Amino acid sequence: MNRDLEFAPWRFWAEADDQEQADQLGVQRAMSERRPEHRFAEKCFISALASIQCDQLVMGRSSYIAAGALVTGTIEMGSHSTINAYSIVRGPVRLGRAVRVGAHTSVIGFNHTMTDPDIEVFRQPISERGIEIGDDVWIGSHCVILEGVRIGDRSVIAAGAVVTKDVPAGAVVGGNPARVLRWRVPALAPSDATAASGSTRPATDLEQSLHAFGDLARDQATQVLARAWDAETGLFADKPGGPATVRAQCDAVEIADLLTGASPPQRSREETVAMLRGWQDPRTGLVGELGRPDTGTPPDLTDPDAAYHVLSVGYALDILGSSFPTPVHAVAGLSADDIVTFLDDLPWPEQAWRAGHWVDALGTALLWNGRQDAAGPPGQLEALIGWLVCRADPQTGMWGQGGKGGLLQPVNGFYRASRGTLAQFGIAVPHAERVVDTVLRHARDARYFTPERQNACNVLDVAHPLWLVRAHGYRTHEQTQLAERLLNDCLTRWRDGEGFGFSAGTGIGSARADAEPGLQGTEMWLSIIWLLADLLGLSGALGYRPRGVHRPEPATSIAGLGR
């Protein structure tokens, strides 16, 4: 074969002759036959001059490994990703879509420990926290990326950088150790960027409280998880003595990742991944609730638990560096017209929260399907986003209407619908200032927002929309006052070794059981605290950043899905 193509594999399928292409497909087929864990999409390329020593190698469409590369361990590559000449990628490593790993770069997903000075380092246990790289990431030549690092979408790693800490989405980092130099995507720059870059301004009382809370939550994370673990079933329950649920397993993954940077210690990462993947119904691509009677009919999107599990299981797997084994077939077959009809039929006037719940599941299913290159009929995502943009009320920015419950339903529905669509795909919110007006008006409703009546759902549904449109700078002083008040309320609710309850327990529709600490309340309030703190420019004090269902940055872009 033309040796130039070994070093420039992106040219292979355009320039190689028929025999060379057949030989390449034969190499991939032989690798898959030897190890079923090796999977290759269309138009992948592996140079004969590369050394592949993988336990598992998954390559998305049009992904390449060039000559001289050393690739070992467990490696997942999204579509249009390239490991260039003489690079070393040692798993566990997950590359998203459209990632370029420059020549002579080392991406090392494990490390030696050195805790015992009397034992040679090479004889000591291996730490294996892995590396996760998002979509549309450019990694320059001669970089070093170390174990445990997460690199956000649309970021750039400058040539020669040594990356020892997480890289936020949209950032350009460089140096040794790498630090943020500027923002490739200015809209993703956190409001606390000045503080994060080394400002010496005095810490405020609230900032000190956030710092202390972050330390406390991290110190007690293992206790919170252990409290919800049922050794008999080998599963988590939301609260001690409660039933094991799918969501509880996912909340445990999110809490462990947020506070410890690892998977829950009660089982290995591989065991958790296999369990979550094994729950997906191969016919619909959905995950039903545990203990659901087997009626012979698989769950569908009308099942509220199955709809939410599109989010919770999908993001738990994403955090763990994995994904659903099959597409969400219940959504993959929908045409653009089907989606418009589905949206028209949702109960927006009287049950906007429920309508938003279905939209959230639909948008997130399109995300997972797109990442698997399993997109359905053309125009699916465009139909969903177009409907939402065109149907938003220009007077309120909402899709639903108020009623006896005030603005609770439309605001809650806005969060659910926008989270899985506009926020998840990085699309501007229509009528953003009207959204702020509506949310601030709702936050004055004493039925839901006096300290004793707050619950995680209602506060999240205010915090996230305000955070989503923060760049508009509209009514900022009022937003700041609200964020400070809500933060001071919720920081007092952490219970040592137990975490957060879902609610204060005395609000409308709540019960005392809602106030008992559990995994759901803990995961939600941790995310709420980050969002509120970031509105104030103080999130850096917490020392954590959500990466799952409540992640602040987009999961991808429409362009990132290859549409």
Which amino acids are annotated catalytic? 112
Give the contacts of 78 (CB within 8 A, at least 6 positions apart): 60, 63, 95, 96, 97, 98, 99, 135, 371
SS3 (DSSP) at 117: coil
Which amino acid, residue 491?
L
Angle at 94 between CA 306 and CA 36, to 5 degrees: 80
Query: Please, are residues 520 and 391 in contact by the beta-carbon 8 Å criterion?
Result: no
Query: Please, are residues 498 and 521 in contact by the beta-carbon 8 Å criterion?
Result: no
Which amino acid, residue 271?
E
Residue 397: count other Cβ atoms within 10 Å of its Cβ: 24
Cα separation of 349 and 403, whole Å? 9
First to last CA, the chain: 33
Cα separation of 355 and 346, whole Å? 5
Tokens of 398: 């909402």
Residue 180: count other Cβ atoms within 10 Å of its Cβ: 19
Per DSSP bridges, beta strands 171-174 and 179-183 are antiparallel
Question: Phi-psi category of 473—alpha, beta or left, where left has phi over 0 and alpha has psi -120 to 50?
Answer: left
> What are the C-alpha distances in Å from 497 to residues 224, 227, 228, 517?
5, 8, 11, 10
Q: Which residues pair with 458 in a beta bridge?
A: none
Cα separation of 558 and 563, whole Å? 6
SS (H, E, C) 279-329: CCCCCCCCCCCCCCCCCCCCCCCCCHHHHHHHHHHHHHHHHCCCCCCCCCH
